[in-house]
Structure 1
Amino acid sequence: MARSTVRHEVRTGPPAHDVARRLLDSAATLSYDPATEVDWETPLDKDFHGASPEWSTLYGTAYWREMTEEQRKELTRQEAASVASTGIWFEMILQQMVLRDIYAKDPTDPRFQWALTEIADECRHSIMFARGAQKLGAPAYRPHRVAVELGRAFKTVAFGEAAYAAILVAEEVLDVMQRDWMRDTRVVPFVRTINNIHVVEESRHMKFARDETRKRLEEAGPLRRRVHALVIAIASYVIVTSMVNKDVYRHAGLDTERAVREARANEHHRALMRSSCSGLMEFLASAGLLTRPALVFYKRAHLI
């Protein structure tokens, strides 16, 4: 690994309150109400995919080539619902971490007000994802019990750059795939609308998370930086590997054992994840958060 991936550089930006004030102005100008923006009334059209086929965990495999077009569409609908359910799970973790971070702080501070705005956004997003998964005809996909318990611990103890960088990883990974889905006319229209809303509003959240990560790292010594780099990497691994529940294959009418086996060996999906996360990895490297132990987990998650 090149030396540039482990340097300890923290790039400073504008004062935090200036960033927060601009984000508040942006939210006031461009925000959505999913209850009215998304077409919840039109019945699901099964002639459409639930996500871009290229993002399916089985795309490019022998199993994918054997599947009928109807099976492929059903699988992408189930996978999109699973990603949405994982998004709800992490957004609940995010909300608790942000609330804990601003507890008893100055409510006149724009950063405090932006944090509450972000939490309000996440509440709407979670409801939107839940209704979207339901409309896709999917069950309630939940992360593995181990992931749920690790998330419970993480939301309780994570602070500073560990909390905000983990938030950034989850949001960036979702952002990349959803930018593809929202432009893809093969994807069912209401899902494209959901993705567009999430991409627009999450762009502000990612800006804040990046700014907070840089700010908190200014206070971090070498030991804290190394520990948090590993914590962020582990959290990222759990989030990414929880996105597609193995039960999606059963609900799509596939052989679960074979589907899981081929999905785990799918080099197309691995390459897609790596290329999509290149900007995120560059940011983490510039912040000194790609330590050798952390890289182990990013590589296992196929993010680098």
Structure 2
Amino acid sequence: MTTTPTLDEELSLSPAEVATRDRFEQLVARLSHQSVVKHYDAYADIPWDDPAYAIDPDDPRWELSRAADPLGATGWYQSQPPGVRSRIGLYRYASAMKIGLEFENILKRGLLEFAFGLRNSDPTFRYAYHEVIEEAHHGLMFQEFVNRAGFDVPGIGRRERLLSQRIVRLGRRFPELFFLFVIGGEDPIDHLQRETLRQRSELHPLFETIMRHHVTEEARHLSFARHYLKMRVPQLSPLRRFRLSIAAPTILGEMAKLMMQAPHDLIREFGVPEAVVREAYTENPEHRRQTQDALRKVRRLCRETGLINPVSRWVWQRRGIWADD
């Protein structure tokens, strides 16, 4: 029996295949068409007020699994009362959505900067606006979830907020670096959501619906970013290409940590001991492997586009995110 390829597989072209502008524009037109025929509305397509979708902080379906966060596998977490375990999990998911919507706020502003400099009739303008619209709906559904979860989660830190303006400007000044940032934020969370959907047999219906909507549309966004880089990186000057090769593991290491580790506010809120944090993250070889696995696709992209050199590979290794795949 044959299986229907996923959107990622269907739209995965090599740098040679996407090198010509015509081939790239054909792919962009296809992505834009998919945004018309398969998209979601944050409110029309989620039954927020259905009693089955209500959020109960004592619901055991909020408990963390190994796929969702290695904190859930620690003895400390497993020793907590059921209500505490479910609240930690709900806080973790609400925090991830708050960070996600703030990341997508930066992404939307950068996409508009990118589109601002495009010529008339450039099909990437239409695609960029489709993505902005879809990301706006993601932000709406993430914030609605946060509001209903009942935790006042803070989102990204002060440092990230200060850096956000510089990242937004990259959309026009250095779009290749901007789309690398996009992949750095989207790839790890996409990997986590796919793993959660694959491994968890029983998920809260609201949480599952949000993830499925997000994964479906992010496949298009990641496909565009990857193929834009496949087309553009070989055309960069040697200096810009070198800058990009060093920026890649630096950005990816920071973004993976932000997306794949419990935030400091959760650790403070629930009094997670420092030894447990080390057990779950910094001294956990399984977490290191999961992080490397989450970045497999972008490592492959960097290899394909010539962004791996002796210096950049050393940075990947220093960040703990290198793997020979």
TM-score (norm 2): 0.81
- Deviation (angstroms), 1:58: 1.2
Root-mean-square deviation (Å): 2.4
Residues 81 and 132 in structure 1, CA contact (< 8 A), matched pair in contact too:
yes
The aligned residue for residue 301 of structure 2 is 283
**Residue type matched to 1:44 in 2?**
I
Residues 161 and 214 in structure 1, CA contact (< 8 A), matched pair in contact too:
no
Alignment partner of 1:112 is 2:93: no
The aligned residue for residue 169 of structure 2 is 156
Structure 2 unaligned regions, length at least 5: 1-13
Of 69, 79, 83 in structure 2, the residue corresponding to residue 70 of structure 1 is 83
The aligned residue for residue 4 of structure 1 is none
The aligned residue for residue 8 of structure 2 is none
Aligned residues: 295
1:60-117 CA-partner distances (Å, limit 9, x unpaired):
3332343334333322222222221221122122112221112142343221101111
1:143-186 CA-partner distances (Å, limit 9, x unpaired):
22222223332222462321112212221111111112334233
Residues 84 and 130 in structure 1, CA contact (< 8 A), matched pair in contact too:
yes
Of 240, 243, 268 in structure 2, the residue corresponding to residue 227 of structure 1 is 243
Between 1:254-263 and 1:200-209, the stretch displaced more is 254-263
Instruction: Please state whether the residue corresponding to 2:308 is helix, strand or coil.
Output: coil
**Residue type matched to 2:190 in 1?**
D
**Residue type matched to 2:29 in 1?**
R
- Distance 1:137-1:269 versus aligned 2 partners, 3 A rule: farther
Q: Higher RCO, 1 or 2 (CA under 8 Å, sep at least 6)?
A: 1
Cα distance between partner residues in 2 of 1:146 and 1:99: 23
The aligned residue for residue 155 of structure 2 is 142
Residues 85 and 141 in structure 1, CA contact (< 8 A), matched pair in contact too:
yes
TM-score (norm 1): 0.87
The aligned residue for residue 168 of structure 1 is 183
The aligned residue for residue 206 of structure 1 is 222
1:41-72 CA-partner distances (Å, limit 9, x unpaired):
23213231266443214133332343334333
Instruction: Please state whether the residue corresponding to 1:154 is helix, strand or coil.
Output: helix
Residues 64 and 71 in structure 2, CA contact (< 8 A), matched pair in contact too:
no
The aligned residue for residue 21 of structure 1 is 29
Of 207, 223, 236 in structure 2, the residue corresponding to residue 191 of structure 1 is 207
**Residue type matched to 1:217 in 2?**
V
**Residue type matched to 1:179 in 2?**
R
- Deviation (angstroms), 1:18: 0.7
The aligned residue for residue 61 of structure 2 is 48
Instruction: Please state whether the residue corresponding to 1:36 is helix, strand or coil.
Output: coil
Alignment partner of 1:272 is 2:290: yes
Cα distance between partner residues in 1 of 2:37 and 2:133: 15
Cα distance between partner residues in 2 of 1:295 and 1:148: 29
